[in-house]
Amino acid sequence: MSDIPDIVIGRLPIYLRELKRLAHEENKLTTSSHELGKRLGISSAQIRKDLSHFGEFGKQGTGYHINYLIEKLQEILNLTHEWPVVLVGAGYLGHALANYAGFQPRGFSIKWVFDSDPSKIGGTVAGLNIQSVNELKSTIARENVKMAIIAVPVSVVQAITDTLVESGVKAILNYVPVHLNVPEDVQVSYSDPVTQMQRMTFYLE
Amino acid sequence: MSDIPDIVIGRLPIYLRELKRLAHEENKLTTSSHELGKRLGISSAQIRKDLSHFGEFGKQGTGYHINYLIEKLQEILNLTHEWPVVLVGAGYLGHALANYAGFQPRGFSIKWVFDSDPSKIGGTVAGLNIQSVNELKSTIARENVKMAIIAVPVSVVQAITDTLVESGVKAILNYVPVHLNVPEDVQVSYSDPVTQMQRMTFYLE
DNA sequence: CAAGGTTCGTGGAAGTTTTCACAATTGTAA
DNA sequence: TTACAATTGTGAAAACTTCCACGAACCTTG
């Protein structure tokens, strides 16, 4: 596989996000590692070092052409086409995610929503039909879906995960506060507000 | 301040979460660094080293008494009392957060909800009155609130943050996909689903 | 009670990440 | 054209994090 540190990969989307902001909200054409770093609280040396793993994108004396760097980062991160995403769980959080307008402009689109609650199946979220989890497997296989977001109760999350993995999903964003067991070739990213808050309370008072 | 690495602090809530799971769902009384590590995908040595920063909580040959370790971790993380939390933003995500049942049992409680949309102010979310952001400052000061969750549009997030900081908030969980500028003594934690997904797509195909 | 198996806590080695600091390149202005 | 200021890319140093491996402690069983 790739020998580029995962921690470096993790910063690229942050750079990309801020570069787009510079381009669209501040109408800038160029920037420097120093300016970008100052805006993000990251050292300029780190930004240069991170980018140097992938090529030479800047010019001495001038800095980086923003749109060019955006394009390069999108290529590196495999964002040159839109990724279709499966959402499992149509509770409050599922609704929020399905209705979130921030996915599409940044490379993702939730295209299917599943739930196991009979009272929800057949209903609609953000214009999408809520389907039974029984159809999860066939849909993923048929549509060759690689990414999923999980927002279901703790009790069923590992079973849902197993189904996703069996069906061919390779990347999961998990909103359920539980560690998932998956094969090595499947990416998992976690989002648990409580864990994040508990980390911060350590530093309070 | 503390000389314990932040990366260690970040793992403690994960340990705590899994320990509670072992206690409540599997009815176990003791565990070992090996067992805990296997369940979390973390090496046993790392768990032992992490805990050793704070004291000696285990026994050779036996391992850790789960309830004792839970209590100790809660003390370390300042979770011995419930933290009241302000929520700013009553959109889809705000609703999901306000209704989330996972805060209370783990040390937090959203007690106030604010929004700037006049059509929302006066309404209700999860039994809480939606108040105008104009009252944010006075509420935080009066109630001595230290923690906030932000789920507002990008365009206003820095202004809201400035108000929170001025009012005395010291820890912010930010769901808006933007880096926040805050003084050194204010903690910020970020949650941006797109950033997380973009990190994963690097490894796909 | 002794032997054998388990597990902790930890010093130091190994590995990883960040920072430093400088040659080289570019643009600007006199 | 030349001097000067800005900025990159990078090798090496410094800082940080993880892992190894072992003595000591503890439990169980015969």
What does the pLDDT read at residue A100? Answer: 98
Q: Would an 8 Å CB–CB cutoff place A17 in contact with chain B?
A: yes
Cβ separation A195–B17 shorter than 8 A: yes
Per-residue pLDDT reduced to its tens digit, A134-191: 999 999 999 999 999 999 999 999 999 999 999 999 999 999 999 999 999 999 999 9
Question: Given this model, what pLDDT does residue A205 score?
Answer: 82
> Could you list the pLDDT tens digit for every one of the 205 residues in chain A?
479 999 999 999 999 999 999 999 999 999 999 999 999 999 999 999 999 999 999 999 999 999 999 999 999 999 999 999 999 999 999 999 999 999 999 999 999 999 999 999 999 999 999 999 999 999 999 999 999 999 999 999 999 999 999 999 999 999 999 999 999 999 999 999 999 999 999 999 8
Interface of A with B in 115-144 (CB under 8 A): none
Check: CB of residue B151 under 8 Å from CB of residue B175.
yes
- Chain A residues with CB-CB distance to B203 below 8 A: 1-2, 9, 170-171, 187
pLDDT the model gives residue A2: 72
Q: What is the pLDDT of residues B136-181, one digit of tens each?
A: 999 999 999 999 999 999 999 999 999 999 999 999 999 999 999 9
Which one, of B34, B76, B18, B28, lies nearest residue B51 by Cα?
Answer: B76
Q: Between the CA of A188 and the C1' of D8, what is the distance in angstroms?
A: 35
CB pairs under 8 A between A and B: 187
User: Is B12 in contact with A41 (Cβ distance < 8 A)?
Assistant: no
Sign for the pseudo-dihedral over CA of B9, A156, A97, B106: negative
> Which of A1-10, A120-129, B7-16, B118-127 shows the lowest per-residue confidence on average (mean pLDDT)?
A1-10
Q: Is the CB of A57 under 7 A from strand D?
A: yes
pLDDT at B120: 98
Which DSSP symbol is given to A18?
H
- Chain B residue with the nearest C-alpha to that of A40: B179
Cα B14 off chain centre by: 11
The answer to whether A193 faces chain B, any CB pair under 8 Å, is yes
Question: A195 to chain B: which residues are within 8 Å by CB?
Answer: 13-14, 17
Contact: A171, B83; criterion CB under 8 Å: no
Distance CA B110, CA B98 (A): 6
Give the pLDDT confidence score for residue B12 in this predicted structure: 98
Confidence class for position B205, pLDDT limits 50, 70, 90: confident
Ordered domains of chain A (ranges, CATH): 6-76 (1.10.10.10), 83-195 (3.40.50.720)
Position A115 scores a pLDDT of 98
Provide the whole-model pTM.
0.97
**pLDDT tens-digit series, residues B29-88:** 999 999 999 999 999 999 999 999 999 999 999 999 999 999 999 999 999 999 999 999
d(CA B189, CA B183): 14
A61, two tokens:
């004396």
What residue is closest to D4 (Cα–C1')? A61
